Every structure is written in structure tokens, then in C-alpha cells.
Structure 1
């Protein structure tokens, strides 16, 4: 629903002001570099954003976080997983030049009680992350819309 609203707004900008929109995939672990380097004028990136050079415009509504795992993973058929149980999985992390605070928000180093969370494998694209999760060796945090739109049969 949100992307449709953004598309309508850009169409209106095009019709009224002749704004041209190009679409470019950015590495998931480098959400700010293309904007900061002048390669693109705007980007859709996950919060938080603390860079003073960047302006946060539209904010997507908060989403539930789900754990993507392979069908044979011990957590595959669970409907609820407590955040403390992340210490029991190898949680995927994003590879890129994003600031440490941003990477930690995506893949925490510890649970809220301080238990360490292992993260031995990384990914640069959503499909790569989902494929790694499907192996059953790792797990990945994804937002509910990603999970609901995924057409993969090898993930739960």
C-alpha cells in the first residue's frame, strides 16, 4: 500500500513539475552511500538515520519483525519466538559501508538481557539473505511485508 502511494505522488510530481524518476537498487548494507556521493537524489532506507547531511522525508509505518528460517530449522514451525531466543540462532547481517549504529539496529549484537547473538554470515541483497536463511544454517530478520510478499517455498 505504501509503495502505491509513493508511486501516485511521483506521478503527480511528473505531471505537474515534469519530475523524472529513475529506479536503482542499492545494496542493503549501504543505504546512504549513493545519496551522500551524489549518485542519486533520494533513497528509501530503513531507520534510524543520524547523518546530518540527510533529510528524512516520508516514514514507513513500523512493521513487525519476523524470523525467516529454512523449513528444516528448529524454529520453522513456531508461531512466536522471544527476542531472547535470538541468542540461539546464527543471525544474518548486512554487508556494506553503513554506519555501525544502523547495522546494529538491523542485526543486534546481543539480546536485551545481554546474551550474545552469533552472526557469521552476511548478505548484500534481499534474495541472497533469503537464500542463506533457506539453507537452515542461518536465520534472517525480515519485516512482515517482505515475509508476506515472498513467494519462496523453502522458507518459513
Structure 2
């Protein structure tokens, strides 16, 4: 263990997620050859191959898989320990950038207020996250964390507090056959064109928010979707608070029975967890708990 380099471990962790030497180098801001050097040094230190590399693919060896299983929690604990020490030394300061998707509801604003009260030395910036790209701003470092619609199944992201479970509504034109209904059953949406997100949003996320077998236009923003709804080009699922916030005369919002509730969650990048992010997650958890118990 003499002379163990933390950079070698970081290289292996990045390579295990990317399975590509070039992309791993981009994450670490080093060259592809440097990634190879760091991996080779780690393998010499261990005495066996951790990664198999061919002209077609990169994969972990069985030993590499076992090493990864034990290394990841140990590395995360180490980085958390260092970050906690740094935070204790300087306090939670600087700027926390928070992304939100859809509507910055009262629960989010309560969490921000609680965070600011506890940490007056840390400013907060609120940034809207594109409807069609819920995870891009976190990955690109444009925000430290984001409040997005579930589901979230991204291996490079951490899902923190989950909150704001709301009944779903379907937005339809005032001319649509559903416009006069008090509510709908989920089965009635199967033949209804549901407007979905296009672009970088993963397929499982798009399907969750537009569960229909009937083709419909795809949009990048919520406003684009509501404009198409008003033109009777399709319907769109929205949670109740978002529907109320975006109310307009040419669109009707009808509650839907039988669909999973719309739920929000806080996400951040595994490599971007800081004391600020953890403290905001704590504030958000407190605000969500207050909503459940009726304290807020």
C-alpha cells in the first residue's frame, strides 16, 4: 500500500462507469494515455488485471468487478469525510445553484428559505431545467442539484429527498371530448395522443410521462406542449400544482384516476456532492416532512 495514489483509484472508478478510455479521460481532465498509465500503475500495485481492453470494447475483469464493489463505498466515504472537514473549517459558503423542472412550488421555496436561514453565508441561485432534458444541467455542471420529475434511473446521479406526490391531470383543449369530464380513468388515455418530451430525456422517463400507444408531437418545453394542447394536437399529463400554475382559458385540466402520482426528487452528480448539496437535501427533507405532518 506504500505510495497509493488516489488518482489511480479515481481513474479506475471513472473507467468502470464510462467503459471508454477517452470519456474517462474527459471526466478527469487528462489524456487517454494518462488514463492508461494510471490504470497500469494500479494493476501493478494490485498484481492482476482489473480491466480487459480490446479494439471493440472495454470491460472489467471478475477481479475488477469485485474490486469496484468494495472500492466505491470506501471512496465515497473518504471523499465525504474530507468534504465534511473542509465544510467544518470554512462553513457552508459560496453559491448553491438549484435547478427545477416544471414549477418551483411552495415546498421548494420553503426548503430554500430554511437553507438560507441556517447558512446565511451561502447564496442560492434558482435555474429552470428544460422539460426535455431533466438531467443535463446537473451533468454539465450548470447546477449543483436539480428538482426533477421521477423516475430517475441514472447510474451517475444520486437521488436524494423525494417529495410532492401529486395526483396527475391531463391537459386537453376546450374542444376535446374529455373537456367536460370531471375525471378520467387511466385506461381511457390509451388511445389518446399524449405529448411527450423530445431530445436528451431518456426513453424510460419520456414513457413514464406519456404512457400512450398513439403517436403525438414531441416538444422541448412545457409551453410548447401546452400550445399544442390548445391547438388540439394532443393531450399532456401534468401534476396538479403545475396545471394550476399554467392555467389558461383554452386548456382544461382533467384529473386522472389510476395513474401513479407525479413525484419530485432532488438529484445531484455522484462526483459533485458537497456540503452545500447535503445541507440543502437536509432542508428539503425537513420541508417535505413538514408537509406530511401538517407543520408547514
Is TM-score (shorter-chain normalized) higher than 0.5? yes
- Would you say 1:88 and 2:88 are equivalent positions? no
Question: Unaligned stretches of 5+ in structure 2?
Answer: 1-105, 253-296
Question: Unaligned stretches of 5+ in structure 1?
Answer: 110-116
Equivalent residue for 2:110?
A: 5
Take 1:13 and 1:122, find their aligned partners in 2: how far apart are those partners?
42
Equivalent residue for 1:113?
A: none
Q: Which has the higher helix share?
A: 2
What is the CA distance between 1:38 and its match in structure 2? 1.8
| Alignment map for 1:1-156 (pairs within 5 Å) | 1-15=106-120, 18-109=121-212, 117-156=213-252
What is the CA distance between 1:73 and its match in structure 2? 0.6
**Contact in 1 for aligned 2:217/2:233 (Cα 8 Å):** no
Name the TM-score, length of structure 1 as normaliser.
Answer: 0.85
Take 2:130 and 2:114, find their aligned partners in 1: how far apart are those partners?
25
Helix, strand or coil at the partner of 1:88: coil
**Higher relative contact order, structure no. (Cα contacts within 8 Å, ≥ 6 residues apart):** 1
Q: Which has the larger radius of gyration?
A: 2
What is the CA distance between 1:14 and its match in structure 2? 4.2
Helix, strand or coil at the partner of 2:238: strand
Take 2:118 and 2:154, find their aligned partners in 1: how far apart are those partners?
27
CA separation of 1:139/1:21 partners in 2, compared to 1, >3 Å: closer, same or farther? Answer: same
Take 1:142 and 1:86, find their aligned partners in 2: how far apart are those partners?
13
What is the CA distance between 1:29 and its match in structure 2? 1.4
Number of aligned residues: 147
